[in-house]
């Protein structure tokens, strides 16, 4: 790879329009509905294929294969993927390390150009990428479209951010010196994304590392490898040099742990459960033989998010915001509202407003237009969520839902609401990651804030109130990384709502924000004597 000629023209910062989030598709328009139905049909024609590991541009088989399946139709195979070995994971890291020597010297404007071009092509094939998510992870049309839009936005935003970091940075000048500060890439990154935002988060984590001059080994979730494969193919198609993006599927304990432990790995970027995040942080802290740095870990690990409904709230708006936040994508978002903390003066009115909203949520195969809730991701998730629901029935009063949807083959669960829950109840403390809402009555705003902050997480939260003083208190005292006032607690937009939380929600990273690329860079101060 020649550092000055990677095969793509450098992007001109002055020619780039200002960044703006992508507008969502309106599927009520017949032409958009027809286009999406065609995309679903086209993707269906590609199901069941076998896909390789790719290291340094070389396609290879694994020690075995595993299947990705449609959670709405568990007998339907989405694709077959190679189960990588520890040796292949190690090979991928070594390959990425060699590629780093040249990729790190490619001008930032060229690296940014790859993201701009990938974003353009993804935008052109928007429905295709979304259709893969409908079939592989059970997203509704709207949720899948939002995921693809966010992926596009990450690439557009990070391309522009890299150009900003590549520019001049003000430092105090000493007499007789020329003093500068530059930002350099770190090295090889182990990228371990989740299945719940299988395109957006995979794209965001990967391209943030690549555009800053790092090379990566990506191990997608075994529940969503087909979507990650579509993204890998796109980056290969636009001419990203071999070895910059290595694609290794397989088990976390085999592939993932090897990547994290490897002496050549410089940083780990992970999104997933608290338990796995803690394990990765521990593994990364161990210094391997020959390792000459401490590994950086960027981890986003979930939440137990709350919406406070104050006695001075617009109860109608609050009920709508809670329903949307709790049951969008079956509650399988780290930002999802799993606790509604409601002042007892409006508790009954809130429940009466919430019940019809939950009752009209359509649960079914997400391929069908108008379906709001599809299946949860797999049988293990279904069983875990049902166990939480059964525990919740003992900890409170069942208001809506209560278990699996009868008569369906897939992993479908009813949107479930349990009222009268105490703040220390199991379903009020543990992350369920499913369509289960605990409603907790409180006597005051003081108590509401205490309950909201009374978990080990601190990711998202919202407050519904008309009282300006309470809003100001929430700004100061509600300990979350993303706080929303009089709106739902999901739906963070790239560049608008930098995303990431505190405590066991992760390492305080802010994806889609102006600080994020710093996690993949290191600063170098240069002082040159002059005169």
pLDDT tens across 354-403, in order? 999 999 999 999 999 999 999 999 999 999 999 999 999 999 999 999 99
Q: What is the pLDDT of residue 4?
A: 46
Q: What is the CA radius of gyration of the chain?
A: 23
Q: Is the pLDDT of residue 3 over 50?
A: no
Query: Residue 124 is part of a domain; what is its CATH number?
Result: 3.40.605.10
Q: Is the pLDDT of residue 470 over 90?
A: yes
Q: Which of 156, 300, 311, 431 is catalytic?
A: 300
Mean pLDDT of the 190-199 span: 98
pLDDT tens across 102-149, in order? 999 999 999 999 999 999 999 999 999 999 999 999 999 999 999 999
Are both 310 and 427 inside the same structural domain? yes
Confidence of residue 7 (pLDDT cuts 50, 70, 90): confident
- Residue 270 belongs to what domain range? 30-301+509-526
In angstroms, the CA 8 to CA 370 distance is 41
Are both 67 and 140 inside the same structural domain? yes
pLDDT tens across 241-298, in order? 999 999 999 999 999 999 999 999 999 999 999 999 999 999 999 999 999 999 999 9
pLDDT tens across 416-453, in order? 999 999 999 999 999 999 999 999 999 999 999 999 99
For a pLDDT cut of 90, what percent of the chain falls above it? Answer: 97
**Total structural domains within the chain:** 2
Is 280 a domain residue?
yes
What's the sign of the alpha-carbon dihedral 17, 18, 22, 26?
negative
Are both 488 and 522 inside the same structural domain? no
Is 19 a domain residue?
no
Are both 78 and 218 inside the same structural domain? yes
Confidence of residue 2 (pLDDT cuts 50, 70, 90): very low
- Cα–Cα distance list, 2 to 5, 197, 449 (Å): 5, 35, 56
150 is catalytic: no
Q: What is the pLDDT of residue 5?
A: 54
Q: What is the pLDDT of residue 1?
A: 46
For a pLDDT cut of 70, what percent of the chain falls above it? Answer: 99
Tokens of 504: 């066991």
Q: Is 190 exposed, middle or buried (0-12, 13-18, 19+ CB in 10 A)?
A: buried
Across the chain, what does the average pLDDT equal?
A: 97
In angstroms, the CA 214 to CA 207 distance is 9
Are both 122 and 202 inside the same structural domain? yes
Contacts of 229 (CB under 8 A, 6+ apart): 51, 79, 81, 220, 247
Q: Which of 334, 365, 395, 489 is catalytic?
A: 334
Question: What pairing do the DSSP bridges indicate for beta strands 460-464 and 482-485?
Answer: parallel
300 is catalytic: yes
Is 129 a domain residue?
yes
Q: What is the pLDDT of residue 406?
A: 92
Are both 377 and 452 inside the same structural domain? yes
Query: Residue 309 is part of a domain; what is its CATH number?
Result: 3.40.309.10
* Greater pLDDT, 228 or 14: 228
Q: What is the pLDDT of residue 231?
A: 98
């Amino acid at each position: 790879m020649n550092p000055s000629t990677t095969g793509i023209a450098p992007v001109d910062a002055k020619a780039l329009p200002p960044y703006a989030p992508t507008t969502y598709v309106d599927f009520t328009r017949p032409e958009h509905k027809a286009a999406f139905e065609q995309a679903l049909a086209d993707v269906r024609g590609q199901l069941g294929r076998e896909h390789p590991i790719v290291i340094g541009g070389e396609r290879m088989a694994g020690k075995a294969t595993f299947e990705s399946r449609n959670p709405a139709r568990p007998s339907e195979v989405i694709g077959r993927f190679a189960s990588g070995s520890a040796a292949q994971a190690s090979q991928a890291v070594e390959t990425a390390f060699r590629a780093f020597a040249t990729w790190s010297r490619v001008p930032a404007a060229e690296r940014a150009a790859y993201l701009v071009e990938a974003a353009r092509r993804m935008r052109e094939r928007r429905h295709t990428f979304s259709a893969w998510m409908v079939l592989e992870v059970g997203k509704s049309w709207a949720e899948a479209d939002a995921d693809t839009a966010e992926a596009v936005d990450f690439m557009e935003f990070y391309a522009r951010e890299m150009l900003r970091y590549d520019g001049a940075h003000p430092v105090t000048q000493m007499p007789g010196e020329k003093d500068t500060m530059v930002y350099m890439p770190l090295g090889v990154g182990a990228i371990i994304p989740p299945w719940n935002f299988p395109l957006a988060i995979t794209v965001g984590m990967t391209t943030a590392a690549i555009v800053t001059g790092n090379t990566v080994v990506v191990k997608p979730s075994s529940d969503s490898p087909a979507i990650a494969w579509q993204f890998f193919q796109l980056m290969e198609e636009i001419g990203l040099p071999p070895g910059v993006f290595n694609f290794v599927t397989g088990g976390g304990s085999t592939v993932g742990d090897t990547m994290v432990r490897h002496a050549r790995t410089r940083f780990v970027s992970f999104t997933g459960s608290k338990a796995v995040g803690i394990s990765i942080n521990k593994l990364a802290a161990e210094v391997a033989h020959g390792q000459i740095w401490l590994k950086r870990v960027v981890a986003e690990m979930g939440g137990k998010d709350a919406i406070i409904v104050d006695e001075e709230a617009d109860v109608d708006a609050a009920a709508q915001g809670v329903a949307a936040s709790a049951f969008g994508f079956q509650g399988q978002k780290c930002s999802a509202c799993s606790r509604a903390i409601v002042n007892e003066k409006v508790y009954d009115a809130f429940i009466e407003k919430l019940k019809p909203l939950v009752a009209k949520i359509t649960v079914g195969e997400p391929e069908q237009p108008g379906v709001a809730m599809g299946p949860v991701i797999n049988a293990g998730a279904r069983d875990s969520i049902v166990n939480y629901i059964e525990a919740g029935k003992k900890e409170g009063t069942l208001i809506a839902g209560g278990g699996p949807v009868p008569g369906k083959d897939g992993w479908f669960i009813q949107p479930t609401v349990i009222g009268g829950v105490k703040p220390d109840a199991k379903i009020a403390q543990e992350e369920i990651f499913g369509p289960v809402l605990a409603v907790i009555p409180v006597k005051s705003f003081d108590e509401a804030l205490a309950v909201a902050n009374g978990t080990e997480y601190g990711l998202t939260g919202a407050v519904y109130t008309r009282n300006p003083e309470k809003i100001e208190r929430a700004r100061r005292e509600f300990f979350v990384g993303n706080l929303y006032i009089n709106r739902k607690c999901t739906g963070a937009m790239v560049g608008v709502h930098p995303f990431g939380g505190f405590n066991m929600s992760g390492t305080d990273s802010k994806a889609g924000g102006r600080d994020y690329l710093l996690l993949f860079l290191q600063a170098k101060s240069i002082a040159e004597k002059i005169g």
